[in-house]
Amino acid sequence: MRNESPEQKNTVRAPFFSSPPEADRLIGVAVLILAAALLCYLLYNIDRSQWDFRVYYYAAKAFLAGNNPYDLTVLREVAGRDDMYNFVYPPLTLVLFVPLTLLGFAGATVSFLLLKTVLFFCLITIWCRCFLKEKKIGGIFLLFLLFGFNAAVFEDLKVGNISIIEQILLWGGLCCYVSGKYIRFGILVSAAASFKLLPIVFLLLLLFTDYPKRYLYTVTFFMLFAAVLGSTAIVQPALFQGFLANSSQVIGEGGASNPSLFTLVRIVLQRIGETTGVRFTGRAVLIIWLPCVLVIGGTALPAMLRLQRTGGDDSKILLITLFCLSFSLLHPRFKDYSYILTLFPAWILLKNYGRSTGGMLPILLLMMLPAAGSPLPGMRALMNFYPLLLVMFLYGYVVYSIFRSGRNAGIPLSCSSGNFSET
């Protein structure tokens, strides 16, 4: 991402990671075998996992029976077990889970898990064919996707969340964005946001195009999304009130499963309070978190405007990369499996960094380092927030590179092999 003289461009650098095609294929086969083994493990241990899907399934059953699926007492009665959580998605999404209730819980869980596995491979295909213009999927790429960001993909498959479904809709929309199909982009982003709502902000990417109707499309899609969401408040007011009540309870959710910047600020203040005896309120968390939001927004916006002026598909890809990283940093509730969003942006930046410096293999290995306990004091908490720290690093790198060069030169559009050398 920097300006280079002709002499520098003609210089062959040491590769970031180089492996023969045969070795890359062997790595790919090994990753697929390992992924299949992990999938079999999840299928065998359905009772000890899939707790998010269990909520979706029994919420749909309660809805069909005419009960309130947002009432946790009702949900526990329908499921016949106490280890249930609140259903936190809008009422319209209940309809999407109703077909799965035609099966028993075990059959529905297996079907949902296999569906998400297929969709994830479709997501990989979108990344490679739409953004990287490659038909082959490299073994190193698969290895990175399986273990990257504390094994975010495996975590999603384990808990039974809808994150993979959300991501394929979102990245399908972003593919349309790169190719200039902005109506399809708006529809797919709106569909992706129908579960967790906040991804609707990806519509703002329309403002960073030169399309004459970008303002009209942005306002229209936001209004349509709000209208569809608000219609349930009129048709099913009790369900909508239940949705608002349940979703408000998880906004400030903390712990290892929510390694967001907001949670990190709160935990740091909590640890300081335990040491000093000072009690910090939620207002203190906001006082520290909001300036962080302003710094991220204040650096991301001018960087995006520079990319808009540059133009071209590569600028759009880097714009998407920066937007994804900013979104993951600003989101107050960004779960461990939510870091699936950052996998492809991280891959793009790793390839670019290795291409421009000639050696970033240690960073690749660090990206794939899974969460693990550590006997060292404080290291376990650090590992829980490892994905967040990696995103901070990547965000700083891409913003620095854009401001330094003012352009997105050097994005390599190939992921078909493990070779990160100059092409």
How buried is 52 (Cβ within 10 angstroms: 0-12 exposed, 13-18 middle, 19+ buried)? buried
Answer yes or no: is pLDDT of 373 > 50.
Answer: no
Would you tell me the crossing angle of helices 237-250 and 214-235 to the nearest 10 degrees?
Answer: 110
Q: Rounded distance, CA 88 to CA 55, Å? A: 9
**pTM to 2 decimals?**
0.86
Q: Rounded distance, CA 46 to CA 63, Å? A: 23
Q: Rounded distance, CA 366 to CA 126, Å? A: 25
Q: Rounded distance, CA 420 to CA 138, Å? A: 12
Q: Which residue has the higher pLDDT, 387 or 252?
A: 387
- Mind listing the pLDDT tens digit for each residue in 91-137? 999 999 999 999 999 999 999 999 999 999 999 999 988 888 777 78
Quote the mean pLDDT of the chain.
83
Confidence band of 215 (pLDDT split at 50, 70, 90): very high
Answer yes or no: is pLDDT of 361 > 70.
Answer: no
Identify which of 19-23, 181-185, 357-361 has the greatest average pLDDT: 181-185
Model pLDDT, residue 102: 93
